[in-house]
Every structure is written in structure tokens, then in C-alpha cells.
């Protein structure tokens, strides 16, 4: 039951323009590479970081960061999971 | 109604004050929005702060615009209907200058609604609509100059000048920053457009609302002109509105 509700982050690398707001809001799970693009921590978002994850998703200026069900492998065609 | 109990003079003052506040907040919103595109940030001002401020200042501007419109409609002196506040150029009271306000309101509503429904409308549609911000701000200023009761008051003119300067500096920064995606020709064209609008609006303001007799030329209904003593709010209005 609890497993099914778990979510993970995906980023659309085409839409992402390296604004970097997500890494400011969710440093626990997102770091930036040398060019300012996000590197996401793999796996489900821990419960204590969920609210921050939602804020990070909402703050993305290009709507490139999204939350999907942790079990969902499909995601968006262009999504990159690192 | 609550507003019925309020003296119309107070309503009129509220209209004027909230209009000015809306302009100041819109200016802040434009400057913050441009800062965000230009990716301005610093140790004490991370990007999510700029983004959050942009969002909240814009919503606050909508609140003040709501007060501005509600009090203008409720005020019995000027015959402004609720329809006039959203449908441009149809009213009987200064149709052109009020119409510009209605136009700016419509643009702002489109901007805010598409922003709140960003995930629904999609990034491209949202971005396309958001370009309207560059039209909304000067139209709002034009409306203020054209029908603002206080456009000939010194400290209000200082606010106008400061707001214009703030937007122009942000635009100049935006057009020269390395983050600008557009090429040199586009940027030059945009700069020319900005310069034209600035010079045009300034020249028009000097010829029109900043000269005596503007209230009549602005399209104020004749029965409201001439300082009739029947209404308390008319005594100060004939010259400026």
C-alpha cells in the first residue's frame, strides 16, 4: 500500500534549461552538473522530502521536473533518470 | 451593501490609491520577472526567492487591481459599470482611457490564469501568453496617465518616472545580458520598440494629460465637468479627473 504511493522525480532533459531552482529547493535529492543541469538521486522520494519535492516541481520555470509513481518506468519519452 | 455606507469621496480616494499601488506592484512584478529570465541571483537572493517574489507580487497586484476596479464601479460619481472594467472602449466615461485600463486588466487576468494553470495549458502556451506582460505594463501606465486624477501631482509623477526607469533598466539589462536567447537583430528591434514606446508615451503625456483642460479632452461626460457643487467628489476633479 505504502509502496504504491511512493513517487520519484524525473526531468525532461529537452525542456530543462538549467535554471537550477530545483537544486536550491531540494538539495537532498538534486545536485547540479557543471553546466547547471540537475542530477537526480535515484529511487523513491523519502517521506520527509515529499513536500520539498512538490515545491521544487512547482518552481521549475520550464515545467521540466515532474513527479511520477515510483513504480512507473514509462514516464515521459524524453525523461532522464540518473 | 458595505460600500454603500462609505462616502463616495473615500471610494474615489481608494480607487486612486489602489490604482497607483497596482502600478507599483506591476512594476515590481515586471522587474522580478525579467530578473528571473536573466537568471539574476546572489548569495542573499537565490533564484527561488526571485521566482516566489515575482509570483506573490503579481498576485498582490491583482488584489489591488480588484480594489481599484470595485471602488471605481461602486463610486457613484463616475458612471463606470462592471462591464466597462473588462470590455474595453465601450463606456461613457472617458472610454479610451478607461478602455486601456480594461485592456490591461484583461491581459493581467490572462497572465495570472495561465500561470496558475501552467501545468494544464502547457509550457509553450503559457510562455506565449506571458509575452503579454510586456504590453500589459505600458498599457496600464498609459491608462494611469490618461485618466489618473493625480497625473499632474508632483510626487505621483515621481512614482511614474521611477517605475518607468525601473522597467527600462531591467529591459536594457535583459537585452544586453548574455543569457538572452534572441539574436542581435531581434534585440536591436526590441530595443527600438522600447525606445519608440517610451518616447511616444512621454511626448503624448507632455502634450495631453500634463496640460490643463485634459479632463474635457479625455472624454469626461459634460455633466460631470464644470465643478458642480452637488457631489462632494466633483470639487477636485474637473482639472484632473
The pLDDT tens digits for B89-140 are 888 888 899 999 999 999 999 999 999 999 899 999 999 999 999 999 999 9
- Interface contact flag, B47 A62, Cβ < 8 Å: no
Residue B61 belongs to some domain of the structure: yes
- Interface contact flag, A19 B39, Cβ < 8 Å: yes
- Measured in whole angstroms, how far is the alpha carbon of residue B191 from the centre of its chain? 21
- Interface contact flag, B119 A63, Cβ < 8 Å: yes
- Residue B232 has a CB neighbour count (10 Å cut-off) of 12
Residue of B nearest to A56 (CA): B48
Query: Confidence band (pLDDT; 50, 70, 90) for B221?
Result: confident
Q: Provide the pLDDT for residue B188.
A: 87
Contacts of B119 in chain A (CB under 8 A): 63
CA pair distance B45, B6, nearest whole angstrom: 42
Residue of B nearest to A57 (CA): B119
Contacts of A59 in chain B (CB under 8 A): 48, 51-52
Contacts of A17 in chain B (CB under 8 A): none
Distance from CA of B33 to the nearest CA of A (A): 11
- Interface contact flag, B48 A61, Cβ < 8 Å: no
Query: Confidence band (pLDDT; 50, 70, 90) for B240?
Result: very low
Q: Provide the pLDDT for residue B239.
A: 40
Contact predicate B67/B209, CB 8 Å: no
Which of B36, B51, B123 is facing A15, going by the closest CB pair?
A: B123
CA pair distance A53, A5, nearest whole angstrom: 14
Cell of B207: 502634450
Q: Where are the domains of chain A?
A: 2-69
Task: Tell me if residue A30 falls in helix, strand or coil.
Answer: strand
Q: Provide the pLDDT for residue A80.
A: 52
CA pair distance B81, B16, nearest whole angstrom: 17
Contacts of A63 in chain B (CB under 8 A): 118-119, 122-123
CA pair distance B20, B166, nearest whole angstrom: 15
The contacts of residue B220 (CB under 8 Å, 6+ apart) are B93, B94, B241
Q: Provide the pLDDT for residue B180.
A: 54
Residue B192 belongs to some domain of the structure: no
Q: Provide the pLDDT for residue B32.
A: 95
Digit-coded pLDDT (tens) for A32-51:
999 999 999 988 999 999 99
- Interface contact flag, B47 A15, Cβ < 8 Å: no
The position carrying cell 470595485 is B70
Contacts of B53 in chain A (CB under 8 A): none
- Measured in whole angstroms, how far is the alpha carbon of residue A26 from the centre of its chain? 9
Residue B197 belongs to some domain of the structure: no
| ipTM reported for the complex, 2 dp | 0.78
CA pair distance B18, B191, nearest whole angstrom: 31
Share of chain A above pLDDT 90, in %: 73
Residue A67, φ and ψ in degrees, nearest 5: -105, 130
Domain that holds residue B18: 3-178
Digit-coded pLDDT (tens) for B145-203:
999 888 888 999 999 999 999 999 999 988 888 655 667 888 888 999 999 999 999 99
- Answer with the residue of higher pLDDT: B85 or B8: B85
A2-69: CATH, from 3.40.50.2000, 3.30.70.20, 3.40.1390.30, 3.30.465.10:
3.30.70.20
CA pair distance B106, B10, nearest whole angstrom: 26
The contacts of residue B186 (CB under 8 Å, 6+ apart) are none
3-state secondary structure chain B: CCHHHCCHHHHHHHHHHHHHHHHHHHHHHHHHHHHHHCCCCECCECHHHHHHHHHHHHHHHHHHHHHHHHHHHHCCCCCCCCHHHCCCCCCCCCHHHHHHHHHHHHHHHHHHHHHHCHHHHCHHHHHHHHCCHHHHHHHHHHHHHHHCCCCCCHHHHHHHHHHHHHHHHHHHHHHHCCCCCCCHHHHHHHHHHHHHHHHHHHHHHHHCCCCCCHHHHCCCCHHHCCCCCCCHHHCCHHHHC
Amino acid at each position: 500500500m505504502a509502496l504504491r504511493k511512493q513517487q520519484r522525480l524525473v526531468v525532461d532533459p529537452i525542456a530543462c534549461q538549467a535554471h537550477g531552482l530545483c537544486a536550491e529547493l531540494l538539495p537532498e535529492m538534486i545536485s547540479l552538473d557543471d553546466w547547471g543541469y540537475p542530477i537526480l538521486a535515484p529511487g523513491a522520494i523519502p517521506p520527509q522530502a515529499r513536500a520539498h519535492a512538490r515545491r521544487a516541481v512547482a518552481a521549475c520555470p520550464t515545467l521540466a521536473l515532474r513527479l511520477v509513481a515510483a513504480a512507473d518506468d514509462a514516464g515521459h519519452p524524453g525523461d532522464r533518470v540518473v | 451593501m458595505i460600500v454603500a455606507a462609505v462616502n463616495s469621496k473615500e471610494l474615489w480616494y481608494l480607487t486612486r490609491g489602489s490604482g497607483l499601488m497596482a502600478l507599483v506592484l506591476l512594476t515590481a512584478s515586471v522587474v522580478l520577472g525579467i530578473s528571473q529570465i536573466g537568471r539574476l541571483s546572489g548569495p542573499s537572493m537565490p533564484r527561488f526567492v526571485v521566482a516566489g517574489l515575482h509570483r506573490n507580487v503579481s498576485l498582490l497586484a491583482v488584489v489591488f487591481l480588484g480594489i481599484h476596479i470595485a471602488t471605481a464601479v461602486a463610486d457613484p460619481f463616475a458612471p463606470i459599470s462592471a462591464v466597462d472594467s473588462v470590455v474595453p472602449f465601450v463606456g461613457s466615461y472617458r472610454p479610451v482611457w478607461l478602455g486601456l485600463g480594461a485592456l490591461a486588466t484583461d491581459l493581467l487576468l490572462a497572465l495570472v490564469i495561465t500561470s496558475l494553470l501552467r501545468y494544464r495549458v502547457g509550457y509553450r502556451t503559457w510562455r506565449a501568453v506571458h509575452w503579454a506582460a510586456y504590453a500589459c505594463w505600458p498599457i496600464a501606465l498609459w491608462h494611469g496617465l490618461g485618466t489618473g486624477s493625480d497625473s499632474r501631482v508632483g510626487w505621483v509623477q515621481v512614482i511614474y518616472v521611477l517605475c518607468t526607469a525601473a522597467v527600462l533598466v531591467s529591459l536594457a539589462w535583459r537585452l544586453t545580458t548574455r543569457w538572452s536567447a534572441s539574436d542581435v537583430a531581434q534585440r536591436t528591434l526590441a530595443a527600438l520598440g522600447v525606445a519608440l514606446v517610451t518616447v511616444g508615451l512621454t511626448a503624448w503625456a507632455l502634450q495631453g494629460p500634463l496640460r490643463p483642460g485634459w479632463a474635457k479632452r479625455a472624454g469626461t461626460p459634460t455633466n460631470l465637468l464644470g465643478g458642480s457643487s452637488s457631489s462632494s467628489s466633483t470639487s477636485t476633479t474637473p482639472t484632473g479627473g
